[in-house]
Amino acid sequence: MKPRISVLLPTKNRCKPMKECLDSLVKQTFKNFEVVIVDGGSTDGTKELVEKYSKKLKIKFDFQSGGLIKQENKGWKIAEGDIVIRTDDDVITEPGWLEAVDKTFRLSDKIGGVTGPTLMPEERQKYRDLFFFQERLNNGGFFWKIIGKVYFDYFLEGEAMRATKWFRSGAFSLGSNYPDCLKIKEPFEVSHQEACNMATRRDLLEKTGGFDETYVGIGEYNEPDVSFNVRKLGYKIMFNPRAVVHHLPSKAGFFNERPNAYGRIMNFINFYFKHIKPNSVDKFLRFNAYLLFLNLFFIHQFMVKREVSQLGCIPATFAGLLKNIFKPESWRGGIL
């Protein structure tokens, strides 16, 4: 029987968390699904682990070199499900996760994507810059609180804990990563899908071309790029508070590539000019203020950690702006 859902797992050398992820998928109440694992060249026994779990789950296993985005694209193209869910190998899913996703899609033919709570334990948040930084703004001294006032009230427009919302500055909220989002009663429309809780209709991936391989480095912003492309086709992205996964990021896998700020800034600028666009006085000011803010953050990280790659933000800013500001399409339209 053809699977209704394909769960896509890109991976590389994360055999241990992958085992926990597969254990949680075995427990799903919704059974009509397959698991599509695309390996980037693991040497830690991942293939042997997958062979073991093939007795419990319907698994497709394939290889793809060239980075995360190429793995994502290889995965959805070989998937058979009408719905493709891109998640991470360090995610543990709640038993009702797939059932909640399936029920949400059945609410309307105009639903193109579904996401849900992507809860991150407090002790793991230190592995992600945004969580560490947001905690400092909330609980730091007077200086940090002043910066926090600008960040929360201006860049995040007073809705820092809103679930999966994108703002005119180019910043986005982290509300779906905290337990308070579980108090939401019903599914509602949001800006984008969480990268590791990202269910999309397969036919819409075909129409939009899937994941954009022009995003550089570790490909940050390529997942919300898909969400915004789906919305531009006239479809909704829905957040279901019952579609819960637990994200347990570690220092393995792609973690060591995160200090390279060149790709992160370049991807941000390209994403902003493609989808949001600084085409009003308000958005122009917010975008430039936030871009300056990001540069100052990476410079601060360089001063603290002595990682020279953090300074890649500076040439990326100039290169990204020069690439986009002279294109007429960079100033027309905009989804926010």
| pLDDT tens sequence across 137-192 | 777 788 888 888 999 999 999 999 999 999 999 999 999 999 999 999 999 999 99
Domain 5-122+161-256 has CATH 3.40.50.1700: no
- The pLDDT tens digits for 34-82 are 999 999 999 999 999 999 999 999 999 999 999 999 999 999 999 999 9
Model's pTM, two decimal places?
A: 0.92
Residues 6+ apart with CB under 8 A from 161: 173, 174, 175, 178, 180
Per-residue burial over 293-327, b if 16 or more Cβ lie within 10 Å, else e, is bbbebbeebbeeeebebbbbbeebbeebeeebeee
124 exposure class (CB count in 10 Å sphere: 0-12, 13-18, 19+): middle
- Mean local confidence (pLDDT), 20-33: 98
- The pLDDT tens digits for 91-118 are 999 999 999 999 999 999 999 999 999 9
How does residue 33 score in pLDDT terms, banded at 50, 70 and 90? very high
Token output for 5: 């859902």
Choose between 225 and 122: higher pLDDT.
225
Q: Indicate the domain borders of the chain.
A: 5-122+161-256, 125-155, 259-325
Within a 10 A sphere around the Cβ of 178, how many other Cβ atoms? 17
> ∠ CA(188), CA(193), CA(197), 5° rounding?
105
* CA gap 331, 324 in Å, rounded: 9
- Residue 247's H or E segment, with its range, is strand 245-247
Helix 313-324 / helix 261-271 crossing angle, nearest 10 deg: 30
What is residue 254's predicted lDDT score, i.e. its pLDDT?
47
- The pLDDT tens digits for 247-268 are 998 655 444 555 689 999 999 9
Contact 7, 34 (CB under 8 A): yes
